[in-house]
Structure 1
């Protein structure tokens, strides 16, 4: 018999925990070895159970993004052998980027739960194409990495709707410096 992909699901919402466990248990090559409901339960299970992939909810308690910290801690204890897929309803770019920085190999919105089994197989096989739920945010982040910290700050303020004069006052820089940095930002991002 072929080896099953051992999955731990970490999800605080009983509806999603039961639904995803039931769906994954129908897959012939996937075995849910643990359905944890908290950070503590996930870390304890990781210390005692063999697993290949973790499906991690980002908010394990009251919108605190503690799934991100749990993922990071799992990566520190289990290292690269563990593949973490973030599962969430959050779509903001900063959260997506933090998930990858904390060790996630993929990021899937709960609305696309039908893609989870394939994402698990891809992660287990070392082929983790980034799900469309996260791809745009990651492309944007890669483009922004070429900006200096000062340019990045100005770019973010522009994105928030501030004009050059307001940015000049906020950052205590001359208007000419702001104009020059905005030209530099445009030059780098339009390449």
Structure 2
């Protein structure tokens, strides 16, 4: 059962999402919040697998709440059944060109969905994120990053930082990271690099650990900042 925390200041939106997700046999809404400041306590109380997070809210907005939530250290021994990781975050927004989306992705959100997305696709997005898959297609990811990064200051600083991060990886890990940045699946990466899928998964896990990242979307952002192809 996938446990969901809904975070939105509009009670009608929360009601609609609860009704929508309630129709899925493997999804259960365990709590709701109307402000980002309520998220930490509700996560501690209900241990959701995923948070559906609105961006614009009074008080603490969804961006600050996502940054705080994903910055929480894991509890327990890494890799053990006792390890408790922060829940995944799926951002809710009304505009696919919203410049705040990039900040949410950099903070560790696994992707975003528009509020007018068909119910079936929102349920599918929740399942994908919990399974460790970003919900943005490669084309949408690159378009979004390009839109919100165009003309913004600090691009050279981000590029230098990204190249420094990628220098921490071994040759094969960098190849896997670039492939992730191109939006390829584990199976596609395995075929391209003549590896097994479990080996690719191991490389991805090591990349996340070495670079202190949360998910594949953040790997893609680092690769994009570094120039895309290494």
Where on the TM-score scale, by shorter chain, does this alignment land: which range? 0.5 to 0.7
C-alpha displacement of 1:66: 1.2
Aligned pair count reads: 146
Which residue of the partner structure matches residue 29 of structure 2?
32
Tell me whether 1:138 sits opposite 2:145 in the alignment. yes
Aligned to 1:105: 110
Instruction: Please give the secondary structure, in 1, of the residue aligned with 2:52.
Output: strand
Is the counterpart of residue 148 in structure 1 residue 153 in structure 2?
A: no
Structure 1: gaps spanning 5 or more residues: 150-187
**Mind listing any 5+ residue stretches in structure 2 that lack a counterpart?**
75-84, 158-226
- Are the structure 2 counterparts of residues 16 and 78 from structure 1 closer, same or farther at C-alpha, using a change threshold of 3 Å? farther
Say if 1:35 and 1:93 are closer, same or farther in 2 by CA, change over 3 A.
closer
Q: Determine helix, strand or coil for the equivalent of 1:112.
A: coil
Contact 1:9 1:32 in 2 (8 A): yes
TM-score (ref. length: structure 1): 0.66
How far apart are 1:129 and its partner, in Å? Answer: 3.5
* 1:107 and 1:131 in contact (8 A); partners too: no
Q: Where in structure 2 are the equivalents of 1:101-180 lying within 5 Å?
A: 101-114=106-119, 115-130=121-136, 135=141, 136-139=143-146, 148=156
CA drift at 1:77: 2.3
Question: Is the helix fraction higher in 1 or 2?
Answer: 1
1:58–1:65 Cα contact (<8 Å) kept:
no
1:74 corresponds in structure 2 to 69
**Residue pair 1:85, 1:106 contacting (<8 A) in 2 also:** yes
Shift of 1:38: 1.3
- CA deviation digits over 1:162-183, x for unaligned, max 9? xxxxxxxxxxxxxxxxxxxxxx
Contact kept, 8 Å, 1:109 with 1:133, in 2: the verdict is: no
**Aligned residue number for residue 163 of structure 1:** none
Matched-pair contact (CA < 8 Å) for 1:106–1:131: no
Larger Rg computed on CA atoms: 1
Q: Deviations over 1:87-107 (max 9, x none)?
A: 011333521211101110011
RMSD: 3.1
8 Å contact from structure 1 (residues 108, 133) kept in 2: no
The answer to whether 1:9 aligns with 2:3 is no
User: Does structure 2 conserve the Cα–Cα contact (< 8 Å) formed by 1:10 and 1:37?
Assistant: yes
